[in-house]
Amino acid sequence: MKKVRLPKMCRFDFLSYFNRVTIRTFNKDIFILRPGLMVQNIETSEYKKIEEIYYDIRTVMNIEGKIVAKRKNRKSELYLQVQNAS
């Protein structure tokens, strides 16, 4: 099976999606991206700077439920998910 290489995401490339993406971390916290480089925890309503959780981000999903970016483990980079035209 041939490995597929996904394009590496430029850091913070998904910031234009504020209020339209959810961010899930490796420790299962879910955040909503807010304007001004802030994220809001869904359960606690606590605000954090995106820099505080960036390396803990596992998945970034848009409001349709499609994955925008993903990281396989904490040591790898965040990769763009290529959307298939269908």
The three-state secondary structure class of 77 is coil
Tens-place pLDDT, residues 35-48: 888 999 999 999 99
Average pLDDT, the chain: 81
Rounded to 5°, angle at Cα 65 from 64 and 69: 115
pLDDT single digits (tens) 58-67? 999 988 888 8
Q: What is the pLDDT of residue 8?
A: 55
The 8-class DSSP code of residue 73 comes to S
Write down the domain spans for the chain. Answer: 13-72
